[in-house]
Amino acid sequence: MQEGAKHDDLTRQRVESLLARMTLDEKIGQMTQVRHFDDITPEDIKSKYIGSVIHTQGPLPGRDAAEWQDKFTEFQKLALSTRLGIPLLFGVDAVHGQNTYEGATIFPHNIGLGASRNADLVEKAAAITAIESRATGFNWVFSPCVAIPYNEKWGRVYEAFSESTEITTELTRASVRGHQGGADNHRVMATAKHFIGDGATDFGVEGGSSSLNRKEVYQRLLPPYQAAIEEGVGSVMASFNKLDGISMHAHKALITDTLKGTMKFNGIVVSDWKAYSRFGGTDIINAGIDMVMAVDGDLDSFRDGVRNGVLSGVIPQERIDDAVRRILRQKFRWGLFDRPFPDKALIGQIGTSAHRAVARQAVRESLVLLKNEGNVLPLRKETRLAVVGEFGNSSGLQSGGWTVNWQGTLENYRGATTILDGIRSIATGEVVYDPDGSVPQDNLDVAVIVVGETPYAEFFGDIGGEMNKYQLTLPERHQRYLTAYREKGIKTVVVLISGRPLVVTPQLEQSDAFVAAWLPGSEGGGIADVLFGEYDFSGKLPHSWPKAEEDYQGKYGPNFWDGSIVPLFPIGYGLNYGTSQARKN
């Protein structure tokens, strides 16, 4: 018997031995994921046999990484002190770096990585995220998001790589390899999410309904999940949306029959937030959900409901055993029984210069040049210029949602470099910072006008949704920045910070150069590198670019595959210094 087969056989034996000794309450405990501090007391870990702890928005585990590790070590010791000593999985929404920890390396969001088309770079970014997640005490990340966005009104477009199934599939493979492929103390369990149709809801509504037929789902949405499974992804997260009129959390045909059956996924299917009370109670267990985020008051109702469901025969015992078997298999696979505690030696790797250099490269390669009239770019180092707009000097604004806080931050955060910082580090001429576009000076050669969307996450970012805070066009004050400098006769370079393509057709026409910079993360200096020509533009649009708000009158945006909407720029468009000069000359 080969070594791998021997290991798999030993794991099966260990799993079955544990399973045979477990009570129903212990099995339900393994299926339970809670949020630390808010849902449980430390003693609950022992008495309720908790299987996993999630950290997200809320009280921090400590003041620094050492205290975070100490807190999770305390929890782990409580889990190991139970009758069977089954260790905890610690999960975190590390979607573009270990973004819940201030001081970590923050990469461009996935939409920017999709613009880079660089699978090797995506793998490196995921590997660094894994190391910095392990350094703060985690062994499970809820990444990558492998959605295929159909409508820029959706508030999570930036979490996905591209509207292209092929690009998304390739980068999904790379991300899973990066997260899961390192040394034992460097790797984390990855999560492909959200299964399935999260980005393909009608009119881009977060958690809405999708009217795609099953053939379209299989052809356009399933391939990234198949790729993730082939790479050995440890978990898949169910989606908030409905398909076939059925909540995906309760969609047995797709979760059990397709994902676990046809696609042969043998990992954990984890619910999304508060799914038990939101999407059908015991129905989600029977559909194939293995681990449930029993948060925000769901813990007792989940435990009681599943116990009563099994005792009454509503939930088959074999469904519970399948769920627990999958959870235990991953805990053995990730070495938690042998190495349950975080490694203090990793703390020094958080936010290192080497990690930040990779993130800066990712920023450079994510930038897409949409216009460069008169070859205003690259900037000369001696140019007298202004950096205009509050986005030009805010690492929080440039990073988007899921950065330090769930909804992001408007402030600068520790260790990050703003766009203004980057420009000042390269420029030798005068650099004026004009945060509100109110003081255009006559003696300037160029204005770098940084505009965009304030941070958001999930349904808060839906356009026309219940929050109704965002729009497909630039805020009026940002449009005025460009007008003020144009009226002075100053050359204008617009840098757009956004989580999706926006309708900026008038601004494209008014500007001399226009750069789609997406949400670059902590390394704003990467933008300056390319603006000054130290590196060329190489990014290509990961989405079709809309020409008008009318492009969104139907269910989907300009990427809809029937060709009924003609975009301003097609997917794959992107100039560089050579092509933009050739176009002009």
**Which CATH number fits the domain that encloses residue 365?**
3.40.50.1700
List of residues 6+ apart from 214 with CB closer than 8 A: 244
In a domain, 114, yes or no: no
Which residues span the domain enclosing 373?
349-584
In a domain, 220, yes or no: no
Phi, psi dihedral angles at 219 (to 5 degrees): -75, -40
Residues acting as catalytic residues: 272, 458
Model pLDDT for residues 431-472, shown as the tens digit of each residue: 999 999 887 777 899 999 999 999 999 999 999 877 778 999
Cα-based torsion angle of the residue sequence 278, 281, 285, 287 in order, rounded to the nearest 10 degrees:
-70
Model pLDDT for residues 375-418, shown as the tens digit of each residue: 999 999 999 999 999 999 999 999 999 999 999 999 999 999 99
User: SS3 of 35, please?
Assistant: strand
Would you state the pLDDT for residue 581?
59
Residue 41: pLDDT band with limits 50, 70, 90: confident
In a domain, 469, yes or no: yes
Would you state the pLDDT for residue 324?
98
Q: What percent of the chain has a predicted confidence (pLDDT) above 70?
A: 97
Q: What is the pTM of this model?
A: 0.96
In a domain, 574, yes or no: yes
Task: For residue 580, give both structure tokens.
Answer: 């933009």
Phi, psi dihedral angles at 473 (to 5 degrees): -115, 170
Would you state the pLDDT for residue 37?
76
| φ/ψ bin of 203: left (φ > 0), alpha (ψ from -120 to 50), beta (otherwise) | left
Strand spans (E) along 508-583:
513-518
List of residues 6+ apart from 320 with CB closer than 8 A: 24, 27, 28, 31, 285, 306, 310
In a domain, 579, yes or no: yes
Is pLDDT above 70 for 531? yes
Is the sign of the CA dihedral 248, 250, 253, 258 positive or negative? Answer: positive
Long-range contacts of 251-255 (CB under 8 A, 24+ apart): 251/287, 252/286, 252/287, 252/288, 254/195, 254/196, 255/195, 255/287, 255/288, 255/289
Model pLDDT for residues 115-147, shown as the tens digit of each residue: 999 999 999 999 999 999 999 999 999 999 999
Would you state the pLDDT for residue 1?
43
Task: Single out the residue of 450, 380, 455 nearest to residue 158, CA to CA.
Answer: 455
Indicate the burial class of 542 (C-beta count within 10 angstroms; 0-12, 13-18, 19 or more): buried
Phi, psi dihedral angles at 59 (to 5 degrees): -55, 140
**Mean pLDDT score of the chain:** 95
Residue 560: pLDDT band with limits 50, 70, 90: low
Would you state the pLDDT for residue 36?
81
Indicate the burial class of 481 (C-beta count within 10 angstroms; 0-12, 13-18, 19 or more): buried
Q: How far is CA 158 from the centre of its chain?
A: 8
In a domain, 491, yes or no: yes
- Provide the number of structural domains found in the chain: 1
Phi, psi dihedral angles at 108 (to 5 degrees): -55, 145
List of residues 6+ apart from 439 with CB closer than 8 A: 432
Mean pLDDT of all residues in 202-227:
96
In a domain, 204, yes or no: no
Distances in Å between the Cα of 308 and the Cα atoms of 293, 325, 522 are: 19, 20, 48
Task: Single out the residue of 515, 494, 501 nearest to residue 473, CA to CA.
Answer: 501
Mean pLDDT of all residues in 349-368:
98
Cβ atoms of 497 and 517 closer than 8 Å: yes
Between CA 300 and CA 221 the distance in angstroms is 35
Is pLDDT above 90 for 557? no
Model pLDDT for residues 90-116, shown as the tens digit of each residue: 999 999 999 999 999 999 999 999 999
Would you state the pLDDT for residue 9?
85
Task: For residue 552, give both structure tokens.
Answer: 């969104």
In a domain, 444, yes or no: yes
Would you state the pLDDT for residue 494?
98
DSSP bridge pairs for 209: 242
HSE toward the beta carbon, residue 385, CA cutoff 13 A: 30
Residue 584: pLDDT band with limits 50, 70, 90: very low
Between CA 113 and CA 544 the distance in angstroms is 16
Mean pLDDT of all residues in 554-577:
85
Would you state the pLDDT for residue 8?
82
Between CA 180 and CA 299 the distance in angstroms is 30
Task: For residue 367, give both structure tokens.
Answer: 């930038």
Mean pLDDT of all residues in 262-275:
97
